[in-house]
Structures are given as C-alpha cells and as structure tokens.
Amino acid sequence: MVFGEWWDQQNKPEEERIAYFRKWPAPPRWLAWLVHVLWDLEPGESEEAFDYQPYFTRLTELGFAGVADYETDLGDEKWVRNG
C-alpha cells in the first residue's frame, strides 16, 4: 500500500515507469500486477475476464519476463504453503 501511494505521487510518464522496473524488476509472479502499475489499468471487479495477453506481449517486447516465466513461477513449489 505504501508503494502504491508513493508510485501514484510520482506521476511518471510510461518511459520512466518502464525504466524503473528495468532497474528494479518484479518477480514473474507479479506480471499481472506489473501490467496494472505500468499502464494504470483498472480492469474492474472480475480480474479473470480481463485480457492480459496484449500487455504480456508488450512486456515481453520490452524485455520483461514473459508469460511462460509467469506461468512457471505460479506453479513453483516455493510458493506453496506447507502445513
């Protein structure tokens, strides 16, 4: 929440937002979040109905982790809570 507030106050243009996340990359698991932060999107109540594919493609073109990395990271056992 603190990051979100700070980020909103920065009001950086797209090129600077992209440069920020090139310097401080988010893990692949956060790919959908990154889409929202970079392009200030609000897909509405149902995240599942939102089509991320064009944004994932754009992220890949910009050199960020692609959808394959995202899907691999989501399935990584390190994220599964034990017990």
Q: What is the C-alpha separation between 1 and 21, in angstroms, rounded?
A: 17
75 has pLDDT over 90 = no
80 has pLDDT over 80 = no
Provide the domain limits for residue 33: 10-78
In a domain, 5, yes or no: no
Quick check: 59 and 65 in contact, CB under 8 A? yes
In a domain, 83, yes or no: no
pLDDT in tens, 16-70: 999 999 999 988 889 989 999 999 887 666 656 788 889 999 999 999 878 888 8
In a domain, 2, yes or no: no
In a domain, 64, yes or no: yes
In a domain, 1, yes or no: no
Number of independent structural domains in the chain: 1
- Is the whole-model pTM more than 0.85? no
In a domain, 19, yes or no: yes
